Amino acid sequence: MEVREPSAKYLARTAFKQTDVGLIPGDWSVSTIGDLASTSSGTTPPRAQANKYFENGSIPWVKTLDLNNGSIVSTDETITPAALSETSLQLYPNGSVLVAMYGGYNQIGRTGILEISATVNQALTAIRPDTKRLHPGYLLRVLNHRIDYWRTVASSSRKDPNITSKDIREFPLAVPPIPEQQAIAEALSDADALIESLEQLLAKKRQIKQGAMQELLTGQKRLPGFAGEWQPTPLGAIGEFLKGSGITRDEAQSGTLPCVRYGEIYTTHNDYIRAFQSWISLEVAVRATRLRQGDVLFAGSGETKEEIGKCIAFVDKLEAYAGGDIVILRPRGFDSLFLGYALNTANVIRQKASRGQGDAVVHISAVALAQIEVRVPDATEQTAIATLLSDMDTELAALEAKLAKARDLKQGMMQELLTGRIRLV
């Protein structure tokens, strides 16, 4: 089923009134969760009797780990009927909204809405709305939108701040008429469905690309029309090595000429340079190392041997420069984009790790890199493989942009709909 971007018809803006939760439409009211729903919590059956209370269980048992700020359709653990009958556990119905109370600021306020009947542990409060006055989906969206509220009430008497069931019952919220609550919940559910579909598609495309890289960059799978052996070739035979020049943090924001600093190879770039983050002045460029189209840049320093020597290809024609702790390979007769992909594969990473020097800070030199071997096909096949993989990257980038747009759209919808600034028909 195709999921489209949610659309809505909007009413004209209405008169607002000032309340404890801010400005809201005049026909909305303000209440608390405790006034509109019943709340309770759960427990953990004795682990010492796991064979009685957990093994071969069939009843879902929700923990903070299971909360995803959306629909809960399965749980990490299940319990037995004996656990339900012999402890204080309750079975909560579909539509119950769950809130995490423990675990510090990164956990408290996490939510979920049951799409199944389930029990919960003692770290969660289960909210059962009076559906004549409070729509469960609307409540879920309000809680997600106002998660920072819990910082204002969390108890800091322990190492990890917590909230209580009382705090949850006293949570104040704006209450539109039930039909409008339902419309808001449905619109935001459509937005969630779009985001989820894009996330799933993106994950699938990334998996496909990863598989293609594993097969194509090792010669396990050949593109149509290509044959012949791949030759193990040391990097020293592929081209010459150069060194980047030291560029300080301040200098990296001093002008308009693009440059790469070694840390950005780890944090910003993957396989090849798509966009620059640092820009130097002409005065700094005079003493810096200028890149040529086709250069391959290695991070000469790093924190671990497993990451040392990560590399990226520079495939553009524009004027750009390399900072210090960067080792530059200038290939002769090899496709640099292919090398950008191939020199980050598992076999090459292992070789780089074995040649890295140091503990707290790891270094790798041009001499060490020159000894690393990579299996390469002829130049035509190199280019064909690189083109296919870069086309996949382009598709992934477009999907990532679409996903970011969908998330921004949802955020904007929440801000407008949950405050009544825009009213849904």
Span 56-81, pLDDT tens digits: 999 999 999 999 999 999 999 999 99
Return the pLDDT at 1: 40
Q: What is the number of residues in the chain?
A: 425
Instruction: Give the Cα separation of 317 and 331 in Å (integer).
Output: 15
Res 424: pLDDT: 86
Residues 245, 289: Cα–Cα separation, whole Å: 6
pLDDT band of residue 103 (cuts 50, 70, 90) is confident
**226-247: pLDDT as tens digits:** 998 999 999 999 999 999 998 9
| Mean pLDDT within 173-178 | 98
Q: Quick: pLDDT tens for 211-226.
A: 999 999 999 999 999 9
What is the model's pLDDT at position 158?
59
3-state DSSP call for residue 118? strand
pLDDT tens digit sequence for 337-368: 999 999 999 999 999 999 999 988 999 999 99
Domain boundaries, given as residue ranges, for the chain: 29-175, 177-225+378-425, 231-376
Q: Is the pLDDT of residue 407 over 60?
A: yes
Rounded to 5°, the CA angle 249-298-305 comes to 95
Domains 29-175 and 177-225+378-425 share a fold: no
Alpha helices by DSSP H, listed for 268-345, are 282-285, 336-342
Read off the pTM.
0.84
Q: What is the mean pLDDT of the chain?
A: 94
pLDDT at 156 over 70: no
CATH 3.90.220.20: does it fit domain 231-376? yes
Q: What CATH superfamily classification does 177-225+378-425 receive?
A: Bipartite methylase S protein (1.10.287.1120)
Residue 248 scores a pLDDT above 70: yes
**How many angstroms separate the CA atoms of 147 and 88, rounded?**
29
Q: Which long-range contacts (CB under 8 A, 24 or more apart) does 231-234 make?
A: 231/375, 231/376, 232/373, 232/374, 232/375, 233/373, 233/374, 233/375, 233/376, 234/370, 234/371, 234/372, 234/373
Which among 313, 299, 308, 315 has a CA at the least distance from the CA of 263?
A: 299
Mean pLDDT of 286-312: 96
399 Cβ neighbours under 8 A, 6+ residues apart: 198, 201, 202, 205
pLDDT of residue 374: 97
State the fold for domain 29-175: Adenine-n6-DNA-methyltransferase TaqI; Chain A, domain 2 (3.90.220)
